[in-house]
Amino acid sequence: MNVQKPYLLTFDTIGAPDLGYIAVAGNSALPFQIKRTYWIYCTPETVARGHHAHHELQQVVIAVHGSIEFVLENVAGEKTIFHLEKPNVGLYIPEMHWRTINFSHDAVLLCLASTEYNEADYIRDFEVFQALANQ
Ligand code: TYD
């Protein structure tokens, strides 16, 4: 199975310290065309979200406020950890990455997604993910 790698993207910003900033993430700045946008907020620090992978969905996730830790595991069993805390930095997550996500109490996670929501695209059982990875 071809293993795509997650990586960080830095978005263009407009502004200055005395004025504030705008960060821009148009389709030309992304590795896919955006089909859906959602955001996650008010996650208790005692809660870890995620615990799934996607067959096809690609995402760019941004901590637009607060800090967010992503623990990613690819189909080769390689783990990478990313700490997001800058509103102009996004993390590209390719398909077939198991993720566990921890949030600071004030974190807001913006997700730019390559497909519409489709529950059939989720792999929610880690053993199923590992079995698919070993194919
Ligand atoms: P999920 O992607 O499992 O969130 P997390 O991994 O952060 O815990 O989504 C949680 C629930 O919300 C799940 O029942 C599916 C639903 N959901 C939608 O209906 N539409 C969406 O666009 C998303 C992202 C989730």
pLDDT (tens, 9 = 90+) of the chain, 135 residues, equals: 667 899 999 999 999 999 999 999 999 999 999 999 999 999 999 999 999 999 999 999 999 999 999 999 999 999 999 999 999 999 999 999 999 999 999 999 999 999 999 999 999 999 999 998 777
Please name the residue whose Cα sits nearest to atom 9 of ligand 1. Answer: 50
* 21 Cα: distance to centroid of ligand 1 (angstroms): 30
Q: Say what the pTM is.
A: 0.96
52 is catalytic: yes
What CA–CA distance (Å, rounded) separates 85 from 83? Answer: 6
Whether the CB-CB separation of 25 and 62 falls below 8 Å is answered with yes
* 44 Cα: distance to centroid of ligand 1 (angstroms): 16
What residues line ligand 1, using a CB cutoff of 6 Å? Answer: 38, 40, 49-50, 52, 117
Whether the CB-CB separation of 44 and 86 falls below 8 Å is answered with no
